[in-house]
Amino acid sequence: MIETLNGIFETVNYKQSTSLKLYDNKEYEDYPPHWHTTMEIIMPTESIYTIECNDQTYILREGDIILICPCCIHTLYAPPIGRRIIFQPDTNSLRFMKDIEPLLNILSPLIIITPEEFPTIHGRIRELLIEIKEEYLNTGSSFSEVIIYSKLLEIITLIGRNHVHHTKQQSRMAGKQKEYMEEFLKLCDYIEAHCSEDLNLDDAANMCGFSKFYFSRMFKQFANISFYKYVNQKRIAKAAELLITPENSITDVALNCGFSSLSSFIRMFKIIKGCTPTEFRNMYTS
């Protein structure tokens, strides 16, 4: 259940002295549209579970695993009878690792791990989630938080390496793929830090040493979305954080997040978040 909901913003009430929250959930309860600053990993263990995010509906079967990235609005629907693991770890403390932030950006808003789509990693991730649940519920265990985070890092590593492997398989330039991956990871770090500035395709291509057309194709292969869509996702994520503070006017938020006009900001915000900035702020403050 959602314990603390302010508008559509959920404050995750972590387990005492940790940055972790886990539910072994059996309740017949739907969760309204909401978002939080934590990652959320859900795995049904009995029956199915329905999730809506970015105007898409996803049906999770028993054993399917969904990873929802931080700050993504989503809605959850429970069946009359069922059970699922809902795991909400704070990943802010992991952001010092250079690979974490770019990977979450690439996966945003979510990724679904099924045995059909991810046969080499699904079984292990499923085992790790069950182990995390058992460790979390074992109140007498020492170093429990460390153990859980180590298992979470293994999950993230499995997903990240699978993505790298998939990208390599898609490329005909396999000999240079490692070099390309490093360049794109550096670029993702740069976009994260400078998304409010004027970022264009030509400059990004020059930073990586590619032609504009080759860069555009390779970046979409790497991130699963176009360069400009990736930049706009980062800008809107930053805007959502700023909109929480009532003192920030919507016009100021638009300008501070790299948009040249209020109309373009509102249009892009609605495309990515499914509502206008004003509606988002009203839902948060209602």
The answer to whether residues 125 and 19 belong to one domain is yes
Is residue 72 within 8 A of residue 110, CB to CB? The reply is yes
**What is the pLDDT at residue 65?**
97
**What is the pLDDT at residue 171?**
54
Range of the domain at 180: 173-227
Mean pLDDT of the chain: 86
Q: How many domains does the chain have?
A: 3
The answer to whether residues 102 and 193 belong to one domain is no
Regarding predicted confidence, which is higher, 221 or 167?
A: 221
Regarding predicted confidence, which is higher, 285 or 124?
A: 124
The answer to whether residues 180 and 164 belong to one domain is no
pLDDT digits (tens, 9 = 90+) for 59-94: 999 999 999 988 888 999 999 999 999 999 998 878
The answer to whether residues 193 and 265 belong to one domain is no
The answer to whether residues 223 and 235 belong to one domain is no
Residue keyed to tokens 């699963």: 224
**What is the pLDDT at residue 271?**
85
**What is the pLDDT at residue 166?**
63
**What is the pLDDT at residue 172?**
47
The answer to whether residues 32 and 141 belong to one domain is yes
The answer to whether residues 41 and 159 belong to one domain is yes
pLDDT at 29 over 60: yes
Q: For the full predicted model, state whether its pTM sits above 0.85.
A: no
pLDDT at 265 over 50: yes
Q: State the CATH number of the domain containing residue 216.
A: 1.10.10.60
Count of residues in the chain:
286
Confidence band of 224 (pLDDT split at 50, 70, 90): confident
Q: State the CATH number of the domain containing residue 12.
A: 2.60.120.280
Measured distance CA(253)–CA(249) in Å, rounded: 6
The answer to whether residues 53 and 129 belong to one domain is yes
Q: For the ranges 34-48, 54-68, 99-113, 234-248, which has the lowest average pLDDT? A: 99-113
**What is the pLDDT at residue 174?**
47
Cα separation values, 94 from 35, 91, 154, 171, 269, Å: 20, 5, 13, 30, 28
Residue keyed to tokens 């099924």: 114
